[in-house]
Structure 1
């Protein structure tokens, strides 16, 4: 296992290093991009009751009233309404990577437009909790999280205020 404090964060890595680094999701299978490069979340939908879930899974419907055990992977909405938010003001403990010095960041709970599912995610850099208001429209994007020991830029899904 990697030591958490050996990670380089994207804002701490020289520009030349960022350009040459390959980019990979921090968590495989949670999002993808379409032909235009726009990001979308990958969720699952129960064949029996139609319940959506994120992150995706192959079985075990999350609806307690459903006995369905087969879920299909589906693309989820790229837009939604800000349901709730907070600002993380403390660095996560090891083994989670954290920049030094730590800078606060906003986390958003967004209710997806078509599915009604609420999905948590970081809010893009430069947007703090003071910039957010419950009910505003948000859209999905991606952002770098860190550069790992192999020089790979690890990317996560993120929310930004819709344009």
Structure 2
């Protein structure tokens, strides 16, 4: 995915955002040039790890093959995937991401707790593209 948006492995895996020193607003994806808060006079931006857990704000399934630049093999049948919008209350953010493999809309409910985990977006012979995914907390690795 995008360099600098997440770091770590396993229990140390975190999405990375930025926080403004003047207004304490947190941003994801990260912001490295200026505070996005229109009411802020501006401050220094520092990288901050986001909360690992949040609550389902909304969810849906993707039943169509997205257009480029999304990478998928047109020779293989399309497999639907689940998207989850997760509220991180401490940061006052909602972050969208795919669900971990095997998690469907039938497994989710608004308000349930989920955690961020590393996942694979795409693999080919030489590269594995890593991303973040959301998984209900009662599911064990």
* TM-score under structure 2 length normalisation: 0.88
Partner SS state of residue 132, structure 2: strand
| 1:124 pairs with 2:95 | no
| 1:101 pairs with 2:77 | yes
| Residue of structure 1 in register with 2:129 after alignment | 154
| Residue of structure 1 in register with 2:62 after alignment | 88
| Residue of structure 2 in register with 1:138 after alignment | 114
Which protein has the larger Cα radius of gyration, Structure 1 or Structure 2?
1
> Alpha-carbon deviation of 1:53?
0.4
Larger RCO, structures 1/2 (Cα 8 Å, 6+ apart) = 1
Cα 1:116–1:96 change in 2 (3 A) is: same
Structure 2 unmatched runs, 5+? none
Q: Is contact 1:38–1:141 with CA below 8 Å preserved after alignment?
A: no
1:1-163 matches, within 5 Å, as: 26-33=1-8, 38-99=12-73, 100-148=76-124, 151-163=126-138
State the distance in 1 between where 2:28 and 2:37 align: 13
Q: Deviations over 1:47-104 (max 9, x none)?
A: 1000000011212212121121531111110000111111111111123212421100
Structure 1 runs, 4 residues or longer, greater than 6 Å off: none
Aligned-residue Cα RMSD (Å) equals: 1.6
State the distance in 2 between where 1:74 and 1:32 align: 11
> Alpha-carbon deviation of 1:33?
0.8
State the distance in 1 between where 2:108 and 2:24 align: 31
> 1 or 2, which has the higher helix percentage?
1
* TM-score under structure 1 length normalisation: 0.77
State the distance in 1 between where 2:41 and 2:60 align: 35
Q: Deviations over 1:102-136 (max 9, x none)?
A: 10011111111421211111101111112111000
